[in-house]
Amino acid sequence: MNYPVLTTLILAPLAGAALLAFLPRENRKELRLGALFVTVFVFLLSIPLWTRFRTGSAEMQFVESRAWIPALGVTYKLGVDGISVLLVLLTTLLMPVCVLASWNITDRAREYFASFLVLESAMIGAFSALDLLLFYVFWEAMLIPMLLLIGVWGGPRRVYAALKFFLYTVVGSLPMFIAILYLYFAAGVNSFDAEKISAALQTSPLESGPARLCFLAFALAFAVKVPLFPLHTWLPDAHVEAPTAGSVILAGVLLKMGTYGFLRFAVPLFPDAAAHYLPWIVALAVIGIIYGSLMCLAQEDMKKLIAYSSVAHLGFVVLGMFSFTEMGVSGAVLQMVNHGVSTGALFLCVGVLYERRHTRLLDDFGGIAKIMPGFAVVLVLVTLSSIGLPGTNGFVGEFLILLGSFEASKWPAILAATGVVLGAAYMLWMVQKVLFGKILHEENEHLGDMHGREWAALVPLLFLVFAIGLFPNAFLSRVAPSVRKLNSQVHEALLKSRAVEEPR
């Protein structure tokens, strides 16, 4: 099987979006089935990324490289390693789930599903691009379909949320673009290839001032997308106003673009600068964990509560990444996947309730475990995975992050551990308010339990909750070599910088 896997995964959703354009708007059933077929087909095409991946290698695999704009040194170069392969697979898995969650979309269904397919193409491209300019193209391309999904098919304040999302992302991304251009000229390799630039910078490092500015430019773009405190304020609005499937893909994949960007570009290109700003980034991560958790306790809207929980969970990921220990970084990569699975499932559960009651306020529920027992089981299981119950996916990721962070620095890990306690508090409080107690509202007495389409969307995620929790090594074995390579780059750079400073 020698076909270009990554290019196929990028082009197949675009071809599907083009085919949907030929279907009449009135044929909603055909549009839904067409979008589902395309996303399932793309997922099946992505399976070789798992089955053919060499687990003992830290090198890029499934590499495709050809000249794109030779005069400028721009290459169409794709590849994945242990860090990115899981995120590509998560993307292809969540897209059919999102289509199933969008089954009742009737307004401009053709444009809606086409936007999702274009978004899938851009996300896969961003996770697999190895040329800095190509990465930037995919990075910006994600913005347009997500802007449309929030601004056209969102809630009452959708235009405000969409514009806020757009402005934060664009303002954060422009300095990164300037830094990419600076690297092109400063590295002297006449190429935007990230590996060539990195090799050139290892031979002839930038001075500390320009290197730190470039790192901050990349870090700003990625911190906005994470989102890292205090750049998080766009996220709750975007989640609350986005349609259910938009929230699933935003939490499941788009937020990971920020954490992935740190690991793929910001840290490897500027390891000295990353080490210099490490205390500040760790501090912001810990603040985000505690702040996000406390904000969850103050929410009345179920969807907004889950949105703020993402700020806390992604704070854990950043903390693990900047521990620069094998356990911490491996746990961070795994937790990216875990968050996409668990929080994506939580947003699907919110969508199940909203379709029946057209409200997300916690006080509008209560006692529905008696009326919707199947839903109650799913919500409890997903909640337990989100708070890191042993045996579920969340436990493995958080445990490794805390161990790695404690090895690097004790106090940040101790403070972050309070987020685990707070996480259990706000998630179990949410479950108690929604599922248990007396039925206080007459409308809740006639709610129907989950049906086949909703089970089809949630069962794959429930499977991953326990597959990752019980067999974590199947996933960590793919991640570990790439993490060791990244950490060795950082530690080598630190040793060189200290050797230069000591004679002074």
pLDDT in tens, 360-381: 888 888 888 888 999 999 999 9
Of the ranges 26-35, 65-74, 376-385, the best mean pLDDT one: 376-385
Residue 469 has pLDDT above 70, yes or no: yes
Tell me what pLDDT residue 458 has.
94
Q: Which among 108, 99, 109, 63 has a CA at the least distance from the CA of 84?
A: 63
Q: With residue 65 as reference, give the H or E element that holds it.
A: strand 61-69
Q: What is the pLDDT of residue 1?
A: 46
Residue 204, pLDDT above cutoff 60: yes
Residue ranges per domain, the chain?
A: 277-495
Query: 32 and 99 in contact (C-beta within 8 Å)?
Result: yes
Taking only the tens place, the pLDDT of each residue in 98-139 is 999 988 888 888 889 999 999 999 999 999 999 999 999 999
pLDDT class of 319 with cuts at 50, 70, 90: very high
Range of weakest confidence among 20-29, 250-259, 387-396: 20-29
Mean predicted confidence (pLDDT) in 378-388:
92
Cα separation, 319 vs 282, whole angstroms:
6
Confidence bin at 229 (pLDDT 50/70/90) = confident
DSSP 376-412: HHHHHHHHHHHTT-TTSHHHHHHHHHHHHHHHH-HHH
Give yes or no for residue 262 having a pLDDT over 80: yes
Of the listed ranges 55-59, 182-186, 201-205, 432-436, the least confidently predicted one is 201-205
Rounded to an integer, the average pLDDT of 400-422 is: 89
Question: Which contiguous run of DSSP H or E holds residue 139?
Answer: helix 132-141
Reported pTM: 0.92
Q: How crowded is the C-beta side of 304, counted as CA atoms within 13 Å?
A: 18
Can you give the pLDDT at residue 217?
Answer: 94
260 and 127 Cβ atoms separated by less than 8 Å: yes
pLDDT at 384: 93
- The predicted model gives 82-110 an average pLDDT of 91
* Residue 86, pLDDT score: 94
Rounded Cα gap, residues 10 and 306, in angstroms: 30
pLDDT (average), residues 14-28: 86
Q: Are 336 and 454 in contact (CB under 8 A)?
A: no
